[in-house]
Amino acid sequence: MGAENQAKHRQEGRSLRRKAATKKSADRVLIICEGSKTETQYLDEIRKQQRLPTAYVHLLGAPRGNDPLNLVKSAEGIFLNGDPHRKIGKRAFDQIVVVFDRDAHTNYHQALSHANQLNLAMMNDIKTKVPFEICASVPCFELWLLLHFQDIPALLDRSMVYRLLKNHIKEYEKGDQGLWLRTMPKLEIAQHRASQLSNQTTRNNDFGPYTDMHTLVCKLLHLTKQPSMT
């Protein structure tokens, strides 16, 4: 190979290495949860097991209270303005997920509507439209835990969900740690049951049990880790 061709080959090789080093293989996900303990701890346990750095999965619990509309607006504000105290830059995410319960929130449907307006309406720091997603549970997050153990064919109130869950997780209380490891062996059946519910109703329907948690858990389990740049 001539000197000119060798130089060209080396130049092309350096160009390819630079592209490989800068290619993003993991989405930066902002997750804001209604619960400051239970949901946040559960999802953070998944993040830690998957060894996903906080640079790519940033979990926050109820920065402005557990009102769904305030949560959606908080997520919007954090994305647009950043948060220096948490070392979050402006528009520094590729996905946003807000996690909350239906319960008896009066502005639940307003929150869903506002989130829908924000979906793909904002650009991030690399000029890409950002999905703004809701992970809702009707009536509450504990429905997702309960689906690991039994079918739920009809809507239950929160107190009944708790009562049934305690049949499977003795002395369950909000904020319990280790819920991911305790329920993980039954994850596949819980995902199947949640998927069946989503075929029967939606998060907008107040008359049936529903949860999006199976899709969020699947997202975290399949989120690709960023390779080291050497």
**Predicted pLDDT of residue 179:** 95
Confidence of residue 65 (pLDDT cuts 50, 70, 90): low
Map out the domains of the chain as residue ranges: 26-221
120, 129 contact by CB (below 8 A): yes
% of residues, the chain, pLDDT over 90: 72
152-196 pLDDT tens trace: 999 999 999 999 999 999 888 877 889 999 999 999 999 999 999
At residue 66, the pLDDT reads 73
The pair of three-digit structure tokens given for residue 29, joined into one six-digit string: 């996900």
Query: Which of 46, 16, 53, 48 has its CA nearest to residue 228?
Result: 53
Token match 């029967």: residue? 200
Asked if residues 30 and 75 have their Cβ atoms less than 8 Å apart, the reply is yes
Whether the Cβ atoms of residue 45 and residue 83 lie closer than 8 Å to each other: no
As a whole number of angstroms, the distance between CA 26 and CA 53 comes to 11
Kindly state the DSSP code that residue 122 receives in the 8-state scheme: S
* Amino acid code (one letter) for 49: Q
Amino acid 193: pLDDT: 98
